[in-house]
Chains A and B, each alone.
Chain A
Amino acid sequence: MNRPVLNYSPAFLILLLWIAGSAPNASAQSARGEQMEIHLHFACRETHRNMQPQRDNIDFLNYLNYKADTGCTGVVRLGFTLSPSEKWTFMADLGMMSDMRFSQMNISASRIIGKAGNSTAWGLSAGISAYPVYLNEFNEYHLIRDTGLMADMNANYRQQILYDPGLELMPFLNYKKSKFSLNAGTGLRISTFMPFNLLIMQKKEGGNFRREIRYETLFKPALSSISALHATLMLTDKPGLSVGLQASAQLLFGMRTIPYKRSILTWTADNRVTDEIKPDSKPFTVTEVSGGIVFRF
Chain B
Amino acid sequence: MKIIRKTLFILLIFNLIRIIPGCCDCDGPATFFSFNKTGITNLNNSGSVPVTSPSDTMRAAAVAFEVSLYDSTGYWYYAALPVKTNAGFSRATAMSCDCAYPMQARVHLTNISITTLFPISDQVAAGTEISGLFVASLRGNYAGDGVYITPEMLCSQTENKIYYDGGIESFGLFLKPEVQSPFARFAMRFTLSDGSILTDTTALITIRP
Given the known A-B contacts A205-B46, A208-B174, A208-B175, are A265 and B62 also in contact in the complex, defined by CB atoms under 8 Å? Answer: no
Interface segment among B3-11, B12-20, B74-82, B146-154: the answer is B146-154
Q: Chain A nearest CB: distance from B171 CB in Å?
A: 14
A267→B147 contact, CB < 8 A: yes
Chain B residue total in the interface (Cβ 8 A): 20
Given the known A-B contacts A150-B48, A205-B46, are A268 and B61 also in contact in the complex, defined by CB atoms under 8 Å? Answer: no
A206 to B64, CA, bound (A): 12
A206→B149 contact, CB < 8 A: no
In chain B, positions 33-66 with a C-beta closer than 8 Å to chain A are 45-48, 59, 61-64
Interface status of A204 (Cβ within 8 A of chain B):
yes
Interface segment among A23-31, A33-41, A165-173, A209-217: the answer is A209-217
A199→B146 contact, CB < 8 A: yes
A270 to B152, CA, bound (A): 12
B150→A206 contact, CB < 8 A: no
Flag B125-167 by CB within 8 Å of A: 1 or 0 each: 0000000000100000000001111100100000000000000
Given the known A-B contacts A153-B48, A267-B135, A268-B135, are A206 and B147 also in contact in the complex, defined by CB atoms under 8 Å? Answer: no
| Residue of A150, A210, A270 touching B150 (CB-CB under 8 A) | A270
A274 to B46, CA, bound (A): 28
Contacts of A268 in B (CB 8 A): 135, 147-150, 153
Contacts of B45 in A (CB 8 A): 207-208
Interface status of A203 (Cβ within 8 A of chain B):
yes
Contacts of B48 in A (CB 8 A): 150, 153, 203
B146→A207 contact, CB < 8 A: no
- Interchain residue pairs A-B with the least CB separation, the first 9: A207-B61, A212-B146, A201-B146, A208-B174, A206-B46, A265-B147, A206-B59, A212-B147, A207-B62
Chain B residues proximal to chain A, CB less than 8 Å: 45-48, 59, 61-64, 135, 146-150, 153, 174-176, 178
